[in-house]
Amino acid sequence: MWVAKIKLKHNCILGNRCEKFKVTLQSVAFSAFKEENSTITSSMHHISGEEANKQNFLKDLEKDKDVIKVEKKKDMFFLLEKAESKAVTFFTPKIIFIKPVIINPTGYERWEIGSWEKDEIVKFINKVERKMNHFELLKLENISLDTIFFPKLMPALTSKQKRAVDLAIENGYYITPRKTNLRKLARIMGISLATFEQHIRAAENKLIPDILMYSK
């Protein structure tokens, strides 16, 4: 399968607010269709960041004139929106998302899309590039199926377990070489090292078996 890794930024009700409120979204697009002069899209999102920032993001999003519907539950929300144009509208049935889209606190989006036909991805790239404020093709390669991300449903984490994992990711704990340690993360979270270790280990014990699809 041919896979493209893309970094882009455009005038987007989500990316703009990620930058404004310093939150991160993990997003999955469901559908896109034309209605009169607008494009209507439906999508599901997981939001991470400081609790106050997340709440302010959602409150501000609900006020946007282009939002048709928002349904929220904890750190997940479903969005139905309208826009003049969306990159996802250039998709064809021959293109799929390999991983969820990540929108970071600078407003940039990272996409990984795939197709059995290289020409389909190239055509998509050529169309989308003209519509974006910033567009960068990071990689285009032919990969094997065992490198495609296919997770189970996200396991239920407590709010403190999820916050511990979010902080670890945001501060570079899981990259090599590590940019932080558990003691510093515990200090940011305002709890003891032992308590932080308890939260993050419990979260990892839930997440890792699901990511690797091991069953107990």
Residue 149 pLDDT: 53
Confidence of residue 23 (pLDDT cuts 50, 70, 90): very high
Q: What's at 213, amino acid-wise?
A: M
H or E, element range at 22: none
Q: Please state which of the ranges 14-28, 100-114, 135-149, 168-182 shows the lowest mean pLDDT.
A: 135-149
Residues 98, 113: contact at Cβ < 8 Å? yes
115 and 196 in a common domain:
no
Q: Which two tokens stand for residue 58?
A: 């959602």
**If you average pLDDT over residues 51-64, what whole number do you get?**
94
121-147 mean pLDDT:
86
Of 53, 47, 50, 56, nearest in space to 74 by CA = 47
Domain's final residue, options 124, 147, 170? 147
pLDDT greater than 60 at residue 148 = no
Are 111 and 199 in the same domain?
no
* Structural domain containing residue 104: 2-147
Pair 116, 183 in one domain:
no
User: How many structural domains comprise the chain?
Assistant: 2
- Rounded alpha-carbon distances, angstroms, from residue 214 to 170, 200, 205, 207, 211: 26, 19, 11, 10, 8
> Any residues with CB less than 8 A from the CB of 205 and at least 6 apart, and which?
none
pLDDT of res. 212? 46
The whole-angstrom separation of Cα 78 and Cα 132 is: 24
In tens, the pLDDT along 69-95 reads 999 988 889 999 988 767 777 777 888
Whether residues 65 and 113 share a domain: the answer is yes
* DSSP string covering 112-172: EEEES-HHHHHHHHHHHHTT-SEEEEEEEEE--GGGS----PPPP--HHHHHHHHHHHHTT
Rg (CA), the chain: 18
